[in-house]
Amino acid sequence: MKYINFIIKKEGAKYNLYDLLSNTTIEINRHALQIMKRLRNKTSPYKLNREELILYNNLYKYKFIQKEGTSNLPYNETALKNLDIQITSRCNLRCRHCLWSNLPSTDLDYNKIKNILFDFKKMGGVRVNITGGEPLLHKDISKILKLCRNLNLHIAVSSNGLLINNRIINDFKKYKVAENIVSLDGFRKSHEYIRGKNTFNKTLNNIKLLIKNNLPVYIRMMYYKKNARYYNKFKNFCKSLEIKSLITAPIINIDRTNKNKELFLSKRELK
């Protein structure tokens, strides 16, 4: 199996160049596409004119091409770019804000996942986000990651981080998981208020373990009353960890009940 690290997608009248191993995207025109085709055919950069050489250097800077050029071809037009796939409703936590905690705990069958991913690829899909429940509980998680890599998809995994270990890290590295999205809801008190006792330190240590292994980490923070007041302090803390991005999602009263009403922000606070 020959893996590729980036693809070109036609979207309407434009073309986008996607790096499957990062979030980097460059919009290119038809002229730039022709240059990419020349580079694919091993055209030396020294034979390009000044304008073409500027483009070449930018592509090289962002690692879309290497010195030996690229063998990548444009793909079909994109019908669906992103896919979130919930491979299990099982979880090792019962978070206060979770919508799924009272639902039956089931895994999505691997063959069904395989069919979904093949259909997604046929539609021109680029990025798949593997979610749950807790996706690392799925018995076929390694096979699913391998399949995503074989389909040359940009892979994201959304996890609570508690099950990350050396075996999981080896799989993440082997199959080039581009986004390791870990839930961390502020500092210890606010995180454990919704996730449960003794979860903060283990989650933080596993985030540091991912970073130590040069795996890109994104933190997802559920934003609510207990952590809203020190959001900027937590944002600076995340910067000190050198994470890729802090994803902030407010907790909202989606079922319109008074359960856990202390979590919800007012309209003024949300604004």
Of the chain, the percentage scoring pLDDT greater than 70 comes to 89
Domain formed by 82-270, architecture: Alpha-Beta Barrel (3.20)
Residue 269's pLDDT band (boundaries 50, 70, 90)?
Answer: confident
Q: Would you list the domain boundaries of the chain?
A: 6-61, 82-270
Residue 156's pLDDT band (boundaries 50, 70, 90)?
Answer: very high
| pLDDT at position 58 over 70 | yes
Of the chain, the percentage scoring pLDDT greater than 90 comes to 55
| pLDDT at position 236 over 50 | yes
| Distance between CA atoms of residues 18 and 181, nearest Å | 19
pLDDT value, residue 201: 98
pLDDT value, residue 149: 95
158-187 pLDDT, tens digit per residue, is 999 999 999 999 999 999 999 999 999 999
pLDDT value, residue 154: 94
| pLDDT at position 105 over 90 | no
pLDDT value, residue 7: 83
pTM: 0.87
* DSSP state letter for 199: -
**Cβ neighbours of residue 245 under 8 Å, at least 6 residues apart?**
218, 219
pLDDT value, residue 71: 45
φ, ψ at 16 (rounded to 5°)? -115, 135
245-260 pLDDT, tens digit per residue, is 999 998 876 655 567 7
75-87 pLDDT, tens digit per residue, is 666 778 899 999 9
Q: Token digits for 262? A: 């202390």
Query: Please, what is the average pLDDT of the chain?
Result: 87
194-230 pLDDT, tens digit per residue, is 999 999 999 999 999 999 999 999 999 999 988 998 9
Rounded to the nearest angstrom, the gap between the alpha carbon of residue 190 and the centroid of all alpha carbons in its chain is 24
pLDDT value, residue 66: 62
| pLDDT at position 95 over 70 | yes
| Distance between CA atoms of residues 194 and 191, nearest Å | 6
* DSSP state letter for 155: E
pLDDT value, residue 33: 81
**Cβ neighbours of residue 5 under 8 Å, at least 6 residues apart?**
19, 20, 21, 63, 176
Report whether 168 contacts 136 (CB < 8 A).
Answer: yes
| pLDDT at position 52 over 60 | yes
Report whether 225 contacts 31 (CB < 8 A).
Answer: no
Q: Token digits for 260? A: 């856990």
15-42 pLDDT, tens digit per residue, is 888 888 887 888 888 877 877 777 666 5
